[in-house]
Amino acid sequence: MIGRRLATSAMAVVAVAGGILLLGPGGPSPAVEVAARRAILRTADEADVALSGLAAALVPAVDAGRAGSARAVAGDEAPGPMFADAAELTRAAEAKAAAAREALVALNRARNARDPGASELEPVAEPGELDSIAEQLSAAAEAGDEFAAMRDRAFSVIGELDDAIAALDAGDLAGARDHVGRARDAHTAVAAWDVGLVTLPVWVETTDAMIAAVERIITATERGDSAAAQRAAEDFVARADDAAPADRALRIAIGEGGSAVAAVPLERLATILTSIDDARAAVASVREAAQR
């Protein structure tokens, strides 16, 4: 019995000693530690490259979307093609987003192999998220073109009224009637525009009164009623004093509305780009820690 206990104890000592030689005092062997660090450094590099590639793919999409928003607010070119380009670029970046997710998963595994308690790096874009944003940008293409068309109608109103007055001065009543008719049609379309722009009603009210005054001038002139024409002309001049504030109200409305056409998808893209920056900073921190 004593001999057997001594043999068992000896075997235990040998086993413990072997473990100490393998693991070393207080942790894994240097070879295991080196391999773990190398795995972290390699996957960190791969994650940074993948994140950088995703950012490089999304920046042009954001630029195209912002260009579309600018065209919706002002300019002669339709915004739709720029929003369509932004949608295509965003959709094309989905593969790079998948690569970035896989690279971060690999880095998390490498870290957990060395330190099971390490916090995990979160993905910068969920599967299908870029496709969802691309759909929103595609919808913005049509909405942006409609917005720009309505914007142009609004800006045409004062120009048509100026032309109507010029025709009246030249004695061209038919021409004046045509110009004021186009002004009224454009105004009616804009007034019925249900876009919830807070300052737009200011412009609608002022320009409606101006159009009505010019219509009365034409009607009175056609009837040969100079007194009525004079009163209408005085009313037009009084209303014209409000034209500058109304124009500012219109431009504010157009600026807000044009920027809102693609605000949601562009904000989502901007959030992802910020997440990429944060993820790259976290990856750099992990890499630095692994080199210590």
Lowest mean pLDDT among 19-33, 59-73, 107-121, 125-139: 19-33
pLDDT digits (tens, 9 = 90+) for 263-285: 999 999 999 999 999 999 999 99
Identity of the residue numbered 84: A
Whether residue 21 has pLDDT greater than 70: no
Q: Could you list the residue range(s) of the whole structural domain that residue 286 is in?
A: 30-291
Whether residue 23 has pLDDT greater than 60: no
User: Is 178 part of any domain?
Assistant: yes
User: Is 18 part of any domain?
Assistant: no
User: Is 1 part of any domain?
Assistant: no
Whether residue 25 has pLDDT greater than 70: no
How sure is the predictor about 3, in pLDDT bands with cuts at 50, 70 and 90? Answer: very low
Closest CA to 281 of 38, 23, 46, 51: 51
* E strand or H helix that includes residue 179: helix 173-191
Whole-number pLDDT of residue 233 = 93
User: Is 268 part of any domain?
Assistant: yes
Question: For all residues of the chain together, what is the average pLDDT?
Answer: 89
Whether residue 115 has pLDDT greater than 60: yes
% of the chain beyond a pLDDT of 90: 78
User: Is 14 part of any domain?
Assistant: no
User: Is 25 part of any domain?
Assistant: no
Q: How many distinct structural domains can be found in the chain?
A: 1
Mean pLDDT of 114-140: 94
CB atoms within 10 A of CB 234: 12
Distance CA 245, CA 143 (A): 27
SS3 call for 13: helix
How sure is the predictor about 37, in pLDDT bands with cuts at 50, 70 and 90? Answer: confident
Whether residue 7 has pLDDT greater than 90: no
CB atoms within 10 A of CB 212: 17
Q: Are the beta carbons of 214 and 165 closer than 8 angstroms?
A: yes
User: Is 242 part of any domain?
Assistant: yes
pLDDT digits (tens, 9 = 90+) for 158-201: 999 999 999 999 999 999 999 999 999 999 999 999 888 999 99
Whole-number pLDDT of residue 98 = 97
Q: Are the beta carbons of 89 and 64 closer than 8 angstroms?
A: yes
Whether residue 5 has pLDDT greater than 60: no
Distance CA 243, CA 159 (A): 12
Lowest mean pLDDT among 62-66, 116-120, 134-138, 230-234: 116-120
Whole-number pLDDT of residue 118 = 84
How sure is the predictor about 256, in pLDDT bands with cuts at 50, 70 and 90? Answer: very high
* E strand or H helix that includes residue 241: none
User: Is 40 part of any domain?
Assistant: yes
Mean pLDDT of 12-16: 38
Whether residue 28 has pLDDT greater than 80: no
pLDDT digits (tens, 9 = 90+) for 42-70: 999 999 999 999 999 999 999 999 999 99
